[in-house]
Amino acid sequence: MTLGWPIAQAAWQAQRADDVFYNLRTDHAVGRKAVDGGLDGLSRAIELDRVPTRFLLRSDLLASAALDPGLTLDAATRRDWLNRARDDLVVGLAGAPAHGVAWLRLAAIELDLYGASRRVIALMFTSMDMAARLPQTWESRMRVILDCWPYFTDAEKERLRAYIVMTWRQSKGDRRLFGYVTRSAADHAILTWFLRDEPGAPQELADIIKRVNKQ
């Protein structure tokens, strides 16, 4: 019983972040005090039981809060939280590498902090190898692809074309994510190139982008 106490206490501390995670993922308002409380709970949990998944959890909260538009963070705090999230991901993935979502999070953070690079692409492909068909990764992964477009080889672009076509087909019920990731005429052109051989896809893509832009 004594040996198990730190683990049980760590689990209880980690649960303090549950409400914050729920609100961030459901677009509910989240205050700085709630985020700080969640981070404190996860940090205490890590002190008690340094398992890789807790580092990954803390990285998720740090990155999600740093990128949440509802939190009025100054630029220095936002960058600090992203750097801390990056450090936690490096530790967590070293001990638990089979987390495709976490590899994608690391790619997105590297892109945000340091810009497009071959390193970002390598991280993104690692995430794709593990979680290509996971719908919650599609929008973020497409944004990484569009931002890193000049850095891909021709062979990689063909591989990505198959992936984007798969995403298009799998999201038949609701393809608004293609509109959400399109921020420029260049993005539109790249997505059209990916979907050029899909019957009706280029026109449907253009219609989706127009509808999303009107919202």
Q: Which residue has the tokens 């630029």?
A: 75
1 pLDDT above the threshold of 50: no
Closest CA to 147 of 192, 107, 116: 116
User: Each residue of 36-84: pLDDT tens digit?
Assistant: 898 998 998 888 888 999 999 999 999 999 998 888 889 999 999 999 9
165 pLDDT above the threshold of 60: yes
Residue 116 in contact with residue 147, Cβ under 8 Å? yes
pTM of the model as a whole: 0.89
Neighbours of 90 (CB within 10 A): 12
Question: For the packed helices 135-147 and 185-194, what is the interaxial angle rounded to 10 degrees?
Answer: 120
pLDDT for residue 123: 98
**pLDDT higher for 22 or 88?**
88
Q: Which residue has the tokens 């209880």?
A: 12
Distance CA 193, CA 208 (A): 16
SS3 of the chain: CCCCHHHHHHHHHHHHHHHHHHHHHCCCCCCHHHHHHHHHHHHHHHHHCCCHHHHHHHHHHHHHHHCCCCCCCCHHHHHHHHHHHHHHHHHHHHHCCCCHHHHHHHHHHHHHHHCCCHHHHHHHHHHHHHHCCCHHHHHHHHHHHHHCHHHCCHHHHHHHHHHHHHHHHHCCCCCHHHHHCCCCHHHHHHHHHHCCCCCCHHHHHHHHHHHHHHC
11 pLDDT above the threshold of 80: no
